[in-house]
A and B are shown apart, each in its own frame.
Chain A
């Protein structure tokens, strides 16, 4: 194990979908620091966008007086992004990953976000204390094992 210096960057934005673009810009800056490819950076931005959009809609019900926090922690091994809110908690086990084919039959427009996050990131964990602090922790490894 080599020693690596951890760096942390934090963005706070009001809980509104119009700020998703700012969140993606923040993630793109992080991606540049760790020299991700354009495609990898784009996917990282999608994962964080999805997590933030979930918070804005489900945890805060589009209440722009609330804040969404995105914290990025990078070291030699990985990029960890935590999306943090103080809103309505949820039971992570209740989150279904539905097949898009099923969602189409239901004419649903939602239900894809968590599936995208889980496919893009290497690890996804929740730490939920309803009404106090909910954290979605997402990890992307910088070097895939051979």
Chain B
């Protein structure tokens, strides 16, 4: 597998945390998709993504978030994102993903947010 993208997983309480590192593009998105698919299929629906070491994202990467969010929310969970660097955050914002996903300043905030509100808010607008 290419070294340009790496995932480290961690379980904090009931929150499955994906620490993403490197470049998430059409070449590497299948790695993230497979990792997320495995956890969602196994019943993990509280998911936090740590983007603090993610240096690049294209629509292929955003598409992975997009394709799982509905299923996760149907099961009372959510995918929350934290720690994005400005260069990556702007790509989320351009497509309006900041209105679809809860995006936090830090990954720790994203993880902690599940204590206050485990399910997605304002999903039915």
Contact = CB atoms under 8 A, between A and B. Distances in A.
A105 B58 CA distance: 20
Contacts, number: 90
Interface in B74-120: 86-87, 90-91, 94-97, 100
B115 to A, nearest CB: 25
A109 B33 contact: yes
Q: For the complex, would chain B's binding face be called helix, strand, loop or mixed by DSSP majority?
A: helix
A24 B56 contact: yes
Contact of B94 (A49, A101, A107, A116): A116
B25 A104 contact: no
Size bracket, chain B contacts:
20 to 34
A112 B26 contact: no
Contacts of A46: 58, 91
Interface string A1-24: 000000000000000011011001
Contacts of B63: 108-112
B53 interface: no
A101 B17 CA distance: 24
B81 to A, nearest CB: 14
Interface in A15-42: 17-18, 20-21, 24, 38-39, 42
Contacts of A108: 63, 66-67
A21 B70 contact: no
Contacts of B7: none
Contacts of A112: 59, 62-63, 66, 95
B18 interface: no
Q: Which 5 A-B pairs have the closest CB atoms?
A: A109-B63, A112-B59, A17-B27, A109-B67, A42-B87
26 contacts: A18-B2, A18-B27, A20-B25, A21-B25, A24-B56, A39-B86, A39-B87, A42-B56, A43-B91, A46-B91, A49-B58, A53-B59, A100-B66, A104-B100, A107-B70, A107-B71, A108-B66, A109-B29, A109-B64, A110-B63, A112-B66, A115-B59, A115-B95, A116-B58, A116-B59, A116-B95
